[in-house]
Amino acid sequence: MNITAVGKFLDQPVLISKLKDKTPKILTGAAFAYGIYDVYKTPKENRKNRAIKDGIILSATVSASLISAFGLKIGKKQLLKGLVDIKDAKSIISDRKIVIDKFLKKNNVDKKTETLLNRAKDGVINLKDTKEILKIGSKSAEYNELLDALYSKKENLSAKEIFKETGRLSVLGLMPVVSGVLGGIAAEKVTGENTPKTTSYKIKEGAYQFLANIFMCNVGAASALFGAEKLQKAGKLAPLSPIKKLGIIMGGIFVTGILGGSYAANFIGKKILDPIFDKKINAKEANSVSRFDDTLKSKTGKVFAAENVLKANKKDVYNERKPEILDMALHTDDIATAGVLSGFKWIEPMLPLMYTISGFRAGIGYRNNIKDTGR
């Protein structure tokens, strides 16, 4: 398999633009299908509440993912600008035709090549034609301009641009996570199932998703690439291909993001969030016991039992959320981060799909195998 040709084929601007146009339908359809599946596998007596909660959480996260990525447009009026900037296919094709005509005019090519390039004017270039275009191999300035028009232009990001990209991708991930947490809390208020404990799980999972799965991974990716760029400038490292960049970035993601982010999220959960919510949980448990029997106000009976549960939760909270095999699905957005920073532009339109997963997990307050998360 010609890896270079496959990479070029996937990275052509027209294909990326068409993928962007299909992303809202793909994401909405996938969310709807998952919601149906999740409700179906729920016991019949709980299906109504599950349908309400999934509907609210998925609507919130899908909307936030799409708006933060592509903006909000009503009719022809753009109300909000998105963080993923991709030109429309018509303008790309129009610009491409001008470049192809210029190349054909200034370069004497055979009939087969002329036919090939004329065929490339109208839409997505298939893999077979991509291989043939790469074989032209002309060293002229027009040929380089041609490749840049047909396929995504190679970019060597500066240190400043690397961290700017990190910020952009982190904001893209933050919006669905915040929407998921707020949507999850609102959903449980609607169904009457909201408690301080389930709220704490959602906020802690939101912190876990953002730190372990998004922000710290982006920092790790940018730091690894920044270090590699510095070594290249010092002459201690050869120029990196997109594949080699991908490997270095994934190493930074694993160390700084998956390991460091998980540690940071659990630390914040234990030291900051738990003390806040334990008071609310303790007060609610005590009030519940008091209503049951006013004589049980000492550290005996049910009050004593309730406080023991709280202490057990506090003792185990540092270990209540660990990276697990199931989390690998959530780290597909890290691969997207690595892809964007490596120069694989085709992944950008898929970012809303990646970040919606994190937002949904935050919304349901996922906590490994703990069952009392309101689910």
pLDDT of residue 157: 66
- The β-bridge partners of 183 are none
Structure tokens at 123: 């839409």
pLDDT in tens, 56-95: 999 999 999 999 999 988 877 888 888 888 888 999 999 9
371: confidence class by pLDDT, cuts 50, 70, 90: low
Query: 26 Cβ partners below 8 Å, 6+ apart?
Result: 353
pLDDT of residue 291: 46
Question: What is the arithmetic mean of pLDDT over 187-202?
Answer: 92
pLDDT in tens, 281-331: 666 655 554 444 444 444 444 444 444 444 444 454 445 677 766 566 556
3-state secondary structure of 12: coil
- What is the pTM (predicted TM-score) of this model? 0.79
pLDDT in tens, 151-182: 887 666 666 777 787 788 889 989 999 999 99
pLDDT of residue 73: 83
Signed CA dihedral, 34, 35, 38, 44: sign only: negative
DSSP letters for 103-117: HHHHS---HHHHHHH
pLDDT surpassing 80 at residue 372? no
pLDDT surpassing 80 at residue 360? yes
Asked if 157 and 165 touch (Cβ cutoff 8 Å), the reply is yes
Q: Measure CA of the first residue to CA of the last residue in the chain; give whole Å.
A: 46
